[in-house]
Structure 1
Amino acid sequence: MPKTRGRVKRQRICPWCSLSFSKEEHLSRHIRSHTKEKPFGCVTCGKTFSRHDSLLRHGRVHSTEGKDGQTFDIRTSSLEAYGNSDQILGGSQSPSVENDMDQVPSFPTHQTPASSLSPSQHAAASHTQARLPVWLETIVQPPKNAQSQINAQAPLFTPLDNIFDSSIEDSLHFNPYSQVPTWLADEHFDLNALNSSVMASTLGFFSPDYTANEDSTDITIQILGEPHSERKEDQVRQLWFTYVGTHKSGYITPEATQEQVELDEQYRQTLSQRLQQRVPTEPLPSTDFLNLCIQLFFTRFNPIFPIVHAPTFRPSAKSSLLLLSICSIGSLFVGSNYAVTQGSIIFERLNKAILASWEKYLLSGKGEALAMTQAALIGQTFAMLSGKPRNLLIVQTFHGTVATWARIYKMFKVRRATDYLEAHLQTRSPEESWRTWAQSEEQVRLAAGLHILDTEISELVLTHPLLQHEESLLPLTGSHELWVAANAAQWKIALGRQQDRSSLNQDNSNAVVAESGTLPLDTGLPDGFQRYITLEGINARIAETRTSHIARDQNMSTRFEYQLIQFFDQYLHEKEDSPTNDPFCLEVLWHSAFISLLVDFDRLELAIGREGFEESALYRQYAHQWAASPNARRCALHGAMILRKLQTTPLGMEPAIHVPRALYRAATVWYAYSEYGLDVDPSDLATPPTANVEFPEFSRLKINSQALLFEANGYRTSRPKTSESSTLCGLVDLLHRIGHWGLSRKFAEQLSFLLKETQS
């Protein structure tokens, strides 16, 4: 007979210490050693135990003390204690409980009809029920709807068996901008100490978690009393990436519920319970999982948003919040649904922890305040890119608070970390100088990250920026060569090279400025992050002009066009055409800035259906007028260039955080261009609509505008129908596939519905 394949035993992993067990009951017993839970209670004296066999031994004491022959079934109480344990952990009954049910009789008080019991059994059941303590009666006889609420709860623990849907080699993508922290890969790194340190430093700082019967904190998207609308714009409104729902009244008045209006003892106790904080018992994921998330953060996310200095970063109790924030966003790159879920849980807990403990960290010193503000900034970025409308509300609400923390410690005052470094180098060692510079540079880059996030939030929700983005106020970050130096020796060499280049360029800088009016191009390593801040500053000033209700005159548009073209000549004109040299996707952001300048996106979104049918009717005329203007063709050209640029980006390269928004705007202008514009037959006109159209920015790109628009229109001189636009469909398809951001998928869902409606 052929040999049968050996059965592989499934291992059950402890979420606290990652020990594995072959049986479920062994894992449950081990978990109680972490939680210090004692679910097995004696119904006679109320004493509790952590093990079932300990309760059985304790029961013999009461059995020998009985004088009238009345005994109780100790196994029954242990079964109900098992049920209570499952309710606390938020999961269903484990297999070990189901096995025990075959051996342990259930309570006859609520599971066995009284008519089927013998007189002796009925007397024993009545006696047992009479002796139950009050706290146990609520377990044995829960309310009618309690069991359904318990079953509806999602389990808090998920086994770690399937977290690696893809190999680590596929997840890790290294590029010249990535920094792998060597302390993570060191064989002497204590992962258990890391997890213990993080948990110990964050316990007690979480806001209260209410039970299932409390009011839900999630915002419902159901509109009370409003009938289902078949209008396209109303359906688009409910799919919009910022839509969280509202409650309307007037159609149907809901039945009034009886509310307690008297201030009695019960009300006081309920209020006291609401004010008490409960330390969460659920653990963090395993230390191996946290280790992987940290590595993916520094290799995938930190290169495109470099605000944490990897060579000097070490996990500690002071940086515990920052470490958790790093793990939350690093989980997005693991490649499994479990990892994304764990990252969302960490983000929600971390957000509560920061809100509950920010005073403690601000008063502890600048180092702790910097780490907390970094954690909040990374968490804000996670929330913005998650694609959840509720998280986007958190971003808008919390953004001003994070900026205030940065202002308290004057993080916007230091524009350059090397301003006072020369005197420091003469009095201290290179190691101490390097670490001092690293902390100052992190402060500068934190301010730069807040400027970037402020611009992105403003562009997403079309609000006024909170920060001042004048070019003279923008932070000046250090060069990439200094930032990635692995130790003090490499950093000092890079600093010497930078000083040599500065002295060589100093003689020629005045002549260049006098001749062209622009700053000289840096001859050192490309400092993409500084260019990123500069370009986002132009975007912010465009948004500020739009939201301040200043008339869009030709002089203002010309001024911003000149700034964008100047930026291209200075930084993008002679750049090598390689995606690895542009981790910040500056060309995509540059084209998106022109779109922001050439269309009132607020009115265009309203015309599409952001606020429903009634608001859409008010702005549809603007959409038709804009779609027939040269600005519409110009925006369509920039949208086509965004698609062309991102299609050449390697699949393994992570796009910058503004890429989802840039793709969304390009797809939206193409939808309006093809949906609201007139499809005129060129044979009916003496001059085709695309003839003699050349725009200055495309002349700098050495691209023929007419040929590009002809290709983007599907090799036709007139604009295509919305459902037949290959450019629009390509942009939506790219939103489905690019990066790990949920925001991209939310944009794709919204635009896919619009495409579907135009085809029907």
Structure 2
Amino acid sequence: MIPQSSSLGSETHDLPSIASPQQHSNASARVASPILTPPVLPQNGFFINDEASELDWIFQDVRGEYLDAVGVPADCMLPDPMDFGLLGLDPQRQCLNAQEPAASYQLTGDPQESWLLDRPISASQPLDLPELGSKNVQLIAGSYVQLERITDSDRAKMQRSIMHFLERPIWTPVSLVTFPSKEKLDLCIDLFFAKFHLVISFIHRPTFNPTAVSEVLVLAIASIGARFTYLDGAAAFANAMAELARRLLLSMGQKDTRVTRSESYMTAQLLLGIYGYSSGDKSWFNYSEASRCSLVRTAKHAGLFQDQPRTAASSGDSTETRWMAWVAAERRRRLGWAIYEFDASVSFLHNERPAFSTGDMALSLPCDVARWEAHSAHSWKALCPWTQPDGELVKFRTAARSLFDASLAESVQLSDGQHLYIVVVTLARFLWSIKELQVSPLMDVVPENWPLIEHKGNLLDKLDQYLVSPYTARASETDRNIQCVAGRALIIHTSHLYGSSDLMDWLPAMLRSSGSNQAAKERMMRWGSEDRQRLRKVVYHSAQILAICRDFPFNNPYEATYVFHAGAALWCAVTMLEAPILESATNEDATSLFLDKNAAEGEADYSKVMQWIREDGNFNVGLYGVPVLGSRVSRLQVLEETVRVLQNLRVWDLSKAYANVLRQLIRSEGANPQI
């Protein structure tokens, strides 16, 4: 579908100035059924709610040999209410638009999903079909509608089908002859913690004990860690281990639905979801998309997106006891945030509707990394604020409103890298929601004049305030902080692609057809002519994404998707930059300008880039591997450079699938250079 947007007008906004953002928190909470800690804590608890355009086509050349077709069905999508009052409108309009989320009215009680229902039937019970009426009942002759009657052979066929499909094992037998040795398992687990770094960590490494947690969680961790071993057959082994974990999850959930609310189950499901999107396997990709919705729904019903009541520590509790209680509460909070970030990132990057409503998020922001990663109870205690050991909790809703509400901005100072990352992910998610509203079939006929373009502009401007160049950060930050800064920058630059009208809606159609989709091609040309400044901004942000992923690769599961989007958007934009640039491309008086060069605000090169975006001008514009954007060979050079960057992202096979799509486009370009 190619959504209309020509009536939306120009969406050009000022370019970001690369500057540092403005300048936390935690609580001691009751032990929340920990699963990831040593045997000091109970091991198999459950979370109880104490308050109430698919991209799988990119795998066209990839064969999934390890997976069966069994997956978890997607649950109903949750609504995504927009709080337009946050986006800079006048107070009167805020009152008309803003409303309290349902999460504000939830009370303590039973788990949400069962308050209307009887207790579930145990999966271990045999399924005996009850008799419908007595054998001697007289049925009414005739029928209301004239349909073919069921015959005895039809009835027998139904019975045979039931017995055939339900009594036959779902999966073929599993061979564990080559199951890895304990040394190899230890290596995979070790590499998981050493190499797999997400901005929001949700497994507490100092207290994690692989011998005391659920086997399915160990399998999920080992499958990801195996990707970092670079041993022969690592990818195939990782896929097979992940498949074993997936089958265990399905079997466990079928035997007892309550286990789906356990911490180990949801943690393993989250890890496998991340794995599936990045594995490069079509079956795994589709499984992850289905399980994402299931995971969000289960976590919501388990109360994972609500803060637990805080209980005061007893004066007789030892430091070790207080630490373990704090770890359990913080780990629970971080798992909720990790699921939120997973859903928001995937929906944003893959242009899919989120499964989670931000109105349901009632968690406080996670604590600082230093306390979370403290190696012992006493090192944790030393990092706790003396005046307020539990920290000052910052609610998500308060933090989000502080971005636009001046009365809250001074009292809520966000400086922690995790908090800034959550803020950026949330703003990007809001941007996607506005894009979704713009393609509504009623958007151009409803009587209300919704200022959606103004909202997008406000969101993009706010996002730009949190943009820090990783080139600047590397001079004074640790690798962990640089990774956080780079991840934030990638989201912000990609947000500008999503904020460029309907670019990210027609772009997949162009790629799927290797540039031959006529309707998408026509829309592309109209899009390029509507706003030339917007076109140049897309070129700039795409070049920045390629530069960051080329110079700061951290083997993040989402890096390949950023590169793919940037390279594809740049390929389209170069097509439309071609005509005006050709006139000056060989002009010796033109100034050479490299859009992916590190240039801080105030430097001459940065000012030239801003001038080119605003006014065009006499510039020879290029980037690494593409000397002159707009030349006849630049389209091919853009694709080739994007493939080179993808080839260096070797841990996750999704990069190979993206590279295959671009290689096919390169072949199409070579055969038919005129698009």
Q: Where on the TM-score scale, by shorter chain, does this alignment land: which range?
A: 0.5 to 0.7
- Aligned residue number for residue 596 of structure 1: 498
- Aligned residue number for residue 747 of structure 1: 658
Q: Give the superposition deviation at 1:277.
A: 7.8
Q: CA separation of 1:273/1:673 partners in 2, compared to 1, >3 Å: closer, same or farther?
A: same
One of 622, 646, 655 as aligned partner of 2:523: 622
- Aligned residue number for residue 610 of structure 1: 512
Q: Distance in 2 between matches of 1:394 and 1:470?
A: 26
**What does 1:261-410 align with in structure 2 at a 5 Å threshold?**
263=156, 270-271=164-165, 273-274=167-168, 280-283=174-177, 284-304=179-199, 306-316=201-211, 318-358=213-253, 363=258, 369-410=262-303
Q: CA separation of 1:289/1:237 partners in 2, compared to 1, >3 Å: closer, same or farther?
A: closer
Percent of aligned pairs sharing the same letter: 18
Q: CA separation of 1:541/1:498 partners in 2, compared to 1, >3 Å: closer, same or farther?
A: farther
Q: CA separation of 1:699/1:613 partners in 2, compared to 1, >3 Å: closer, same or farther?
A: closer
Letter in structure 2 aligned against 1:731: T
1:542 aligns with 2:542: no
Q: CA separation of 1:603/1:331 partners in 2, compared to 1, >3 Å: closer, same or farther?
A: same
- Aligned residue number for residue 413 of structure 1: 306
Whether contact under 8 Å (1:295, 1:330) holds in the other structure is yes
Q: CA separation of 1:304/1:365 partners in 2, compared to 1, >3 Å: closer, same or farther?
A: closer
Letter in structure 2 aligned against 1:432: T
- Aligned residue number for residue 759 of structure 1: 670
Whether contact under 8 Å (1:521, 1:571) holds in the other structure is no
Letter in structure 2 aligned against 1:737: N
Whether contact under 8 Å (1:306, 1:445) holds in the other structure is yes
Look up the SS of the partner of 2:338 in the other structure.
helix
- Aligned residue number for residue 644 of structure 1: 547
Letter in structure 1 aligned against 2:184: F
Letter in structure 2 aligned against 1:379: L
**What does 1:609-688 align with in structure 2 at a 5 Å threshold?**
609-610=511-512, 616-628=517-529, 629-649=532-552, 654-681=554-581, 683=583
One of 335, 341, 358 as aligned partner of 1:446: 335
Whether contact under 8 Å (2:252, 2:259) holds in the other structure is no
Letter in structure 2 aligned against 1:363: R
Q: CA separation of 1:391/1:275 partners in 2, compared to 1, >3 Å: closer, same or farther?
A: closer
Q: Distance in 2 between matches of 1:473 and 1:314?
A: 30
1:560 aligns with 2:459: yes
User: Per-residue CA shift, 1:15-62, capped at 9, x if unaligned?
Assistant: xxxxxxxxxxxxxxxxxxxxxxxxxxxxxxxxxxxxxxxxxxxxxxxx
Q: CA separation of 1:490/1:478 partners in 2, compared to 1, >3 Å: closer, same or farther?
A: same
Letter in structure 1 aligned against 2:670: Q
User: Per-residue CA shift, 1:415-457, capped at 9, x if unaligned?
Assistant: xx8x836x22645222122112212222111111112221232
Letter in structure 2 aligned against 1:459: F
Q: Distance in 1 between matches of 2:58 and 2:436?
A: 24
Letter in structure 1 aligned against 2:181: S
Whether contact under 8 Å (2:313, 2:322) holds in the other structure is yes
Q: Give the superposition deviation at 1:606.
A: 4.4
Whether contact under 8 Å (1:296, 1:330) holds in the other structure is yes
Q: Distance in 2 between matches of 1:561 and 1:701?
A: 21
Q: Distance in 1 between matches of 2:602 and 2:352?
A: 31
Q: Distance in 2 between matches of 1:613 and 1:711?
A: 24
Q: Distance in 2 between matches of 1:573 and 1:360?
A: 53
User: Per-residue CA shift, 1:219-251, capped at 9, x if unaligned?
Assistant: xx9xxxxxxxxxxxxx98956999x9xxxxxxx
TM-score, normalization: structure 2?
Answer: 0.63
Name stretches of at least 5 consecutive residues in structure 2 with no aligned partner: 1-43, 45-55, 68-152, 395-401, 444-450, 614-618
- Aligned residue number for residue 77 of structure 1: none
- Aligned residue number for residue 108 of structure 1: none
Q: Which moved more, 1:331-340 or 1:601-610?
A: 601-610
- Aligned residue number for residue 100 of structure 2: none
Look up the SS of the partner of 1:598 in the other structure.
coil
Q: Distance in 2 between matches of 1:625 and 1:689?
A: 28
Q: Distance in 1 between matches of 2:602 and 2:355?
A: 33
Name the one with the larger helix percent.
1
**What does 1:152-551 align with in structure 2 at a 5 Å threshold?**
238=60, 263=156, 270-271=164-165, 273-274=167-168, 280-283=174-177, 284-304=179-199, 306-316=201-211, 318-358=213-253, 363=258, 369-414=262-307, 420=310, 423-424=312-313, 426=315, 428-469=317-358, 473=362, 475-496=364-385, 499=388, 517=409, 521=413, 527-548=416-437, 549=439
Q: CA separation of 1:728/1:312 partners in 2, compared to 1, >3 Å: closer, same or farther?
A: same
- Aligned residue number for residue 181 of structure 1: none
- Aligned residue number for residue 483 of structure 2: 583
Q: CA separation of 1:354/1:601 partners in 2, compared to 1, >3 Å: closer, same or farther?
A: farther
Q: Distance in 1 between matches of 2:574 and 2:542?
A: 13
Q: Give the superposition deviation at 1:601.
A: 3.9
Whether contact under 8 Å (2:567, 2:642) holds in the other structure is yes
Q: Give the superposition deviation at 1:287.
A: 1.3
Q: Distance in 2 between matches of 1:452 and 1:675?
A: 35
Q: Give the superposition deviation at 1:361.
A: 6.5
Q: Give the superposition deviation at 1:630.
A: 2.0
Q: CA separation of 1:420/1:272 partners in 2, compared to 1, >3 Å: closer, same or farther?
A: closer
- Aligned residue number for residue 730 of structure 1: 641
Q: CA separation of 1:402/1:498 partners in 2, compared to 1, >3 Å: closer, same or farther?
A: farther
Q: Distance in 2 between matches of 1:539 and 1:472?
A: 16
User: Per-residue CA shift, 1:657-689, capped at 9, x if unaligned?
Assistant: 32211111110111111234442256599xx99
Letter in structure 1 aligned against 2:490: V
TM-score, normalization: structure 1?
Answer: 0.56
Name stretches of at least 5 consecutive residues in structure 1 with no aligned partner: 1-200, 202-220, 222-234, 245-259
- Aligned residue number for residue 26 of structure 1: none
Q: Give the superposition deviation at 1:476.
A: 0.7
Q: Distance in 1 between matches of 2:210 and 2:623?
A: 53
Whether contact under 8 Å (1:462, 1:547) holds in the other structure is no
Look up the SS of the partner of 2:354 in the other structure.
coil
Look up the SS of the partner of 1:568 in the other structure.
coil
Whether contact under 8 Å (2:191, 2:229) holds in the other structure is yes
Q: Give the superposition deviation at 1:752.
A: 2.0
RMSD: 4.5
Q: Which has the higher contact order (CA 8 A, sep 6+)?
A: 2
Q: Give the superposition deviation at 1:736.
A: 1.1
Letter in structure 1 aligned against 2:462: Q
Whether contact under 8 Å (1:331, 1:342) holds in the other structure is yes
Q: Distance in 2 between matches of 1:664 and 1:535?
A: 21
Q: CA separation of 1:336/1:722 partners in 2, compared to 1, >3 Å: closer, same or farther?
A: farther
Give the number of the structure whose alpha-carbon radius of gyration is greater.
1
Letter in structure 2 aligned against 1:656: N
How many residue pairs match? The answer is 490
- Aligned residue number for residue 66 of structure 1: none
